[in-house]
Amino acid sequence: MIYLLLSIFFSVLLLINFRLHPRFQVNTFQAIILNYPVCIITGLLFLPKDQHFSLNLSETSTQLAMLLGVGFVITFMLSGFSTQKIGMATTSLANNMSLVVPVIFSLIVLKMSASFDVLNYTGLALAIVAVVLSTVKKDAPSENASSLNQYWWLPVAVFTMYGITNTSFNYLNATYVTKAGTTIPFTLTILVGSVVAGGSVLLLRLIQQKEVFDPKSIIAAIPLGIPNFLSFYYLLKALDQYQNNGAFVLPMYNIGVIVGSALVAFVFFKEKFSSLNKIGLLLAILAIVLISHQSLNW
């Protein structure tokens, strides 16, 4: 459980970084793109002495891992565009609801259903309800019907891409990482793909859209990149610890981040939550107990 908790902790730390960007007038897009090289440096520092990192582009695992890294950048860009056009609430809901994709994949394709009982399935159902209730917000009028009618495909695309990337992450870990025991090199390979894709996009924006480069984004990329790598790393370790059972780990991770970030928002940023949000957070805690009841010492 410690790896899962660490992954949740560092993911919440990421969200705190994003929350502080407006206060320090940081260009979040540039900081995110630049955080990938920081992730790679962090990974190299954590690399065990008996392992090494190299790219063999002829290997299928390398190609798929780099493609997944590109997918993460595309997903991020879609999420940002969707937030601008139809609002944060709808985009966040599409993002969090995508957890059903890797869960179904893990249960049906990876055959993890044998270890599940009625309490686990009840917890999964509650997790989905909790995600909806805890993330629903009242958008501004401009973010409602007219924008949603025009850009209806954006939340669908966000849902699809998050589902694909999380499922691929789970599958590649089960296929290549667990057997080889090379968690950090695999993570670094994903990040190389993200660096290539993200760097290309940033360069195009600087040239074609005349975007001004913000030096502060270099500094902001450091506290962003370190927890970003560690959240990746410990999520892979958590999947390994639970026999790559994404139906268990990914819902726990998802709702753990929601509950953790809500607590931070309430305590440190004085955010207020609606009654539905509070009910959703309580259901999320209950879902965690039900999903993980075999691991708890009663």
Q: What is the 3-state secondary structure (H, E, C) of 1-66?
A: CHHHHHHHHHHHHHHHHHHHCCCCCCCHHHHHHHHHHHHHHHHHHHCCCCCCCCCCCCCHHHHHHH
Mean pLDDT of the chain: 86
With a CB cutoff of 8 Å and minimum separation 6, the contacts of 130 are: 255, 258, 280, 281, 283, 284, 286, 287
The per-residue pLDDT for range 130-141, each reduced to its tens digit, is 888 887 766 544
Percentage, residues of the chain above pLDDT 70: 90
Q: What are the backbone angles phi and psi of residue 20, rounded to the nearest 5°?
A: -85, -15
Residue 6 domain-assigned (yes or no): yes
The per-residue pLDDT for range 91-124, each reduced to its tens digit, is 777 887 888 888 888 888 888 776 788 998 898 8
Residue 255 domain-assigned (yes or no): yes
Q: What is the CA radius of gyration of the chain?
A: 19
The answer to whether 292 and 248 are in contact (CB under 8 A) is yes
Residue 298 domain-assigned (yes or no): no
Angle 73-95-212 from CA coordinates, rounded to 5° = 40
Residue 279 domain-assigned (yes or no): yes
Task: Match 């695992």 to its residue by tokens.
Answer: 61
**pLDDT at 296 (0 to 100):** 57
**pLDDT at 132 (0 to 100):** 81
Find the range with the poorest average confidence among 37-51, 71-85, 164-178: 71-85
**pLDDT at 179 (0 to 100):** 65
Query: For residues 173 and 196, what is the distance between their CA atoms, to the nearest angstrom?
Result: 21
Mean pLDDT, range 226-254, rounded to an integer: 90
Percentage, residues of the chain above pLDDT 90: 36
Query: Which range marks the domain in which residue 31 is found?
Result: 2-293
Find the range with the poorest average confidence among 49-58, 111-120, 134-143, 197-206: 134-143
In the chain, the number of structural domains is 1
Residue 50 domain-assigned (yes or no): yes
With CA atoms as reference, report the closest residue to 174 among 253, 110, 263. Answer: 110
The per-residue pLDDT for range 267-279, each reduced to its tens digit, is 888 878 888 888 9
The answer to whether 3 and 192 are in contact (CB under 8 A) is no
pTM value?
Answer: 0.85
Find the range with the poorest average confidence among 18-22, 200-204, 217-221: 18-22
